[in-house]
Amino acid sequence: MSTTAAPVRDAATCCAAPLTAAPLDADEAARLAHVLKALADPARLRLLSLVAAADGAEACVCDLTEPVGLSQPTVSHHLKTLVDAGLLTRERRGSWAFYALVPGALDAVAGALQHPGR
Amino acid sequence: MSTTAAPVRDAATCCAAPLTAAPLDADEAARLAHVLKALADPARLRLLSLVAAADGAEACVCDLTEPVGLSQPTVSHHLKTLVDAGLLTRERRGSWAFYALVPGALDAVAGALQHPGR
DNA sequence: CCGCGGCATCGACGGGTGTCGATGTTGACG
DNA sequence: CGTCAACATCGACACCCGTCGATGCCGCGG
């Protein structure tokens, strides 16, 4: 747990190297793997899609627990993982915590996988 | 291990749903997560990039062990994971086993993450 | 036929991860 | 001020995963 003390925006820093262009050095591979590890879970993928499809592109925890069929602590844990990976933002309004997609984060990961140069 | 007896082209079947378009159902989330889990490892990312950058876009195990700094069994294990995920192909020629990228596999994963650019 | 080199598989070990219930914290509301 | 609701954190559990050395299998060359 707590492999990352400070919130690192890995999703923004991992997209420098197109995977198929040149061999990745260990550092960049670790950064990209960190973001992909946050994505490599069915529950987190569903949470991301639920947030993206929600009204206003944001959702609170109470709206996400039932669709994914997981307990509230587990959902909070997954959301924290996604925030730490730089894929989601968290905003507290009153008693609720609203999560929203980081614009361009998923696109950055996608661009790191394929060849963006076109 | 060996969650799939038959060779499933997860990388090809997981890209049907753009993540940000509509909520993923559990089945599609599991498929996409399977491929992403294969990608979510620094060693495997480096192996992929090494294969992509190799001459002829293919490489044998003996050429990959030293760059990633892992033992030969570990490299074979990672390559098997990538093959099972539908990201690499394996071809035996003589005593060597040559691995090559599956064309379009990475692009399919990338397309599943961002909205359909096309 | 025999040895050798390349590769896959096996068994084992340590660390990471997903999940839960219980509990703490914080803000809203009567 | 007391209570409730929403959320985060904690502790614990089972399970998966990355890694290694040892070993087995398979072609090739002598």
Q: Which of B20, B30, B43 lies at the smallest CB-CB distance from A49?
A: B20
For residues B26 and A46, the answer to whether their CB atoms sit within 8 Å is yes
Q: What are the CA-CA distances from residue B60 to residues A37, A83, A113, B87, B116 (Å)?
A: 26, 38, 22, 16, 34
Predicted confidence (pLDDT) per residue in A35-92, tens digit:
999 999 999 999 999 999 999 999 999 999 999 999 999 999 999 999 999 999 999 9
Interface contact flag, A40 B43, Cβ < 8 Å: no
Distance CA B103, CA B83 (A): 13
For residues B49 and B82, the answer to whether their CB atoms sit within 8 Å is no
CA of B20 to C1' of C29 (A): 37
The answer to whether residue B95 is domain-embedded is yes
Interface contact flag, B45 A52, Cβ < 8 Å: no
At B20 the pLDDT is: 80
The answer to whether residue A23 is domain-embedded is yes
> Using CB atoms and an 8 Å cut-off, which of residues 40-99 of chain A contact chain B?
40-43, 45-46, 48-50, 52-53, 67
pLDDT digit string (tens) for chain B, length 118 residues? 433 334 455 676 655 667 887 888 899 999 999 999 999 999 999 999 999 999 999 999 999 999 999 999 999 999 999 999 999 999 999 999 999 999 999 999 999 998 654 4
Residues in A 67-86 whose C-beta is less than 7 A from nucleic strand C are 70-74, 77-78, 81
The answer to whether residue B4 is domain-embedded is no
At A10 the pLDDT is: 66
The domain of A88 spans 10-113
For residues A99 and A83, the answer to whether their CB atoms sit within 8 Å is yes
Q: Which of A29, A36, A111 lies at the smallest CB-CB distance from B46?
A: A29
Name the one residue in this structure whose structure tokens are 């609203």.
Answer: A98
Interface contact B23, partner A, CB < 8 A: yes
Tell me which residues have their CB below 7 A from strand D: A 60-62, 72-73, 75-77, 79-80, 90, 95-97; B 1, 37, 40-43, 70-74, 77-78, 81, 94-95
Q: What are the CA-CA distances from residue B36 to residues A98, A107, B16 (Å)?
A: 26, 15, 15
DSSP state of B56: G
- Nearest chain A Cα distance for residue B70, angstroms: 12
- Nearest chain B Cα distance for residue A94, angstroms: 26
Number of domains chain A contains:
1
- Nearest chain B Cα distance for residue A47, angstroms: 8
The answer to whether residue B1 is domain-embedded is no
The answer to whether residue A4 is domain-embedded is no
The answer to whether residue A95 is domain-embedded is yes
- In CATH, what number is assigned to the domain containing residue B51? 1.10.10.10
